[in-house]
Structure 1
């Protein structure tokens, strides 16, 4: 037989006794007689099959089981209060929740800057920002886990709508003070003697980098393989080597003592926002797209003078 479900009143009585440490005070607080309260707690103990309180030297002392139960009760109580606040906020129309994802290239710098802009514009609500690998993007959208995903890779699916944000190029990231740091642009041949921190040939970055090297008749030689751009930036900061990244990933890298140098005639890197056209489109999607475009424009303008005809 399944355990009988506890009533809300039973939990309220238990919580009040635990808070006051006294049947007399608890009865007064709940507006009932002490004998009826004693009966109620005895019935709860019988239902659970354990003792919740013991009388020691005239004091009401909770058992270890009672302390464990209280911890769970308080957790649920706090969650219920949060839920109540959220429901009332939605009913008033003064709050909204916007959940979206991004892959590391855009999630490292472009997304934070876009969210900051939205806040400065007075966009209210709660944001949930999920970090995704490229292979998770399709399911994330199809199963409604988030409203949209920002990434530098396309998603080929008939129910996924792709919105272009901006196009930039690749940059070489080196530590400040590196011999290449003062250059306005570099070519793959300029990196041949460097320890290259780079990506596998089948990744989005790896494909773009190899495409750029092939344009110059060069072959990429990788000394350290990484999977995410934040690892590449961290390794460059430790002066393990240099790296080639998309320009979006390298935004404001100077704050970490790094310099991003445009690579001449590099492959184009496009930033996209993907949405599932089988689901209602949240207002936050369009606001995020606008903010991303405004932030990305500064990156593309910086690189405009460094690229030669492709």
Structure 2
């Protein structure tokens, strides 16, 4: 018995998976006679009948399928090796695993990454969008290098740094009657259909408190748990809302924005381990985040 060649084994896999020699030859980018010859030589070299001829088609025998399964396992190991090599190459160039709240996972994080990759075009970046609670646990466990979350985390093993986020704004559908005003308060908004964040969210609590100070309640018609949903509902003309500019950027070109009084501060935090791996990359990502926050596209 002669050892099969790599090309013969590739032909075996191609014929089994494609079903016909003609399609297998297309996969292998060789002629049909050449593909048939590879299979004939493989059977001769192994001394095994791997296929039965049935109306011009090659149907794998039991031995043929057993050999195919073994070759598939070996090729799978080769593919795993290729993935390992790629991972090593990525580590040589650097890699950064970041997390962000869904509210910041659209235009804002895109702007951050454009700034970051302008300095580090060869760095591999993985982005995970999850809840603040999930992300803080992930950074504490060092599964993520840096995360963007709602402020409030205090732990001796991490550094939490506030993002300089502009104050909350009133977001209105284009052409809304209140667009003629430069500044709005709960007095003007009390009778408007209001798109609210979920009752447990930080923004909802701040907005409710601002209305309470005026002895008013917003006329909530729709409630949503994510900033993209709230923003889209306003852009569709279903009501107005009060939100932080960074999370409302997804509809920047489809809504009108006005100042809100009293001013509502809404802070996000960048959280990273005290002794972060790839600390220089994390530092540059933090710098890019601050720069991106100062250039928000949804200001009054």
TM-score tier, shorter chain, comes to 0.7 to 0.9
2-side partners of 1:63 and 1:186: how far apart? 78
| Shift in alpha-carbon separation, 1:197–1:27, aligned structure 2, 3 A | same
Other structure's SS at 1:136 match? helix
With normalisation by structure 1, the TM-score equals 0.74
Q: Do residues 119 (structure 1) and 117 (structure 2) align?
A: yes
Conservation of the 8 A alpha-carbon contact between 1:165 and 1:289? no
Q: 1:153 to 1:109 in 2, by over 3 A?
A: farther
For 1:172 and 1:131, locate their aligned partners in 2 and report how far apart those are by CA, in whole Å: 26
Matched with 1:47 is none
Q: Is the 8 A contact 1:23 1:38 kept in 2?
A: no
Which residue in 2 is equivalent to 1:25?
Answer: 38
Q: Is the Cα contact below 8 Å between 1:134 and 1:153 reproduced in 2?
A: no
Alpha-carbon displacement from aligned partner over 1:86-141 (angstroms, at most 9, x marks no partner): 32454xx3x33211111123223321111112233453222211111122122221
Instruction: Give the Cα–Cα distance (whole angstroms) in 2 for the partners of residues 201 and 226 of structure 1.
Output: 9
Unaligned runs of 5+ residues in structure 2 are: 16-20, 22-34
Q: TM-score, normalised by structure 2?
A: 0.76
Q: Tell me which residue corresponds to 1:265.
A: 262
- Give the alignment partner of residue 297 of structure 1, picking from 288, 294, 297: 294
Q: Distance in 1 between matches of 2:14 and 2:250?
A: 52
Contact 1:164 1:270 in 2 (8 A): yes
- Structure 1 segment 27-46 matched on structure 2, within 5 A: 35-38=44-47
Cα distance in 2 for partners of 1:221, 1:271 equals: 27
CA contact (8 A) 2:90 2:123 kept: no
Match of 2:202 in 1: 204
Q: In terms of mean alpha carbon deviation, does 221-230 or 136-145 score higher?
A: 136-145
RMSD between aligned alpha carbons?
3.6
Cα offset, 1:207, TM superposition: 1.9
**Quick one: structure 1 residues 107 and 302, their matched pair in 2 at CA, closer, same or farther if it must change by over 3 Å?**
same
- For residues 222 and 134 of structure 1, what CA distance do their matches in structure 2 show? 25
How far off its partner does 1:191 sit? Answer: 0.7
Larger mean CA deviation between 129-138 and 17-26 belongs to 17-26
The 2-side partners of 1:275 and 1:235 are apart by 34
For residues 72 and 172 of structure 1, the distance between their equivalents in structure 2, rounded to whole angstroms, comes to 59
Superposed CA deviations along residues 129-179 of structure 1, whole A, max 9, x for unmatched, are 111112212222123332111123322334332012213211111111111
Q: Is the 8 A contact 1:188 1:216 kept in 2?
A: yes
Residues 86 and 38 (structure 1 numbering): CA distance in 2 closer, same or farther, change over 3 Å? Answer: farther
C-alpha distance in structure 2 between counterparts of 1:58 and 1:301, whole Å:
66
Could you tell me which runs of 5 or more consecutive residues in structure 1 were left unpaired when the two chains were aligned.
Answer: 1-8, 43-51, 304-310
**Larger displacement relative to structure 2 (57-66 or 80-89):** 57-66
Take 1:120 and 1:102, find their aligned partners in 2: how far apart are those partners? 20
Deviations 1:29-71 (A, max 9, x none): xxxx7544235xx7xxxxxxxxx64343686433699499588
CA apart distance, 1:193: 1.1
More deviation, 19-28/169-178: 19-28
Identify if the C-alpha distance between structure 1 residues 18 and 288 changes in structure 2 by more than 3 Å, giving closer, same or farther.
same
- 1:164 is matched with 162
Q: Give SS of 1:190's match.
A: helix
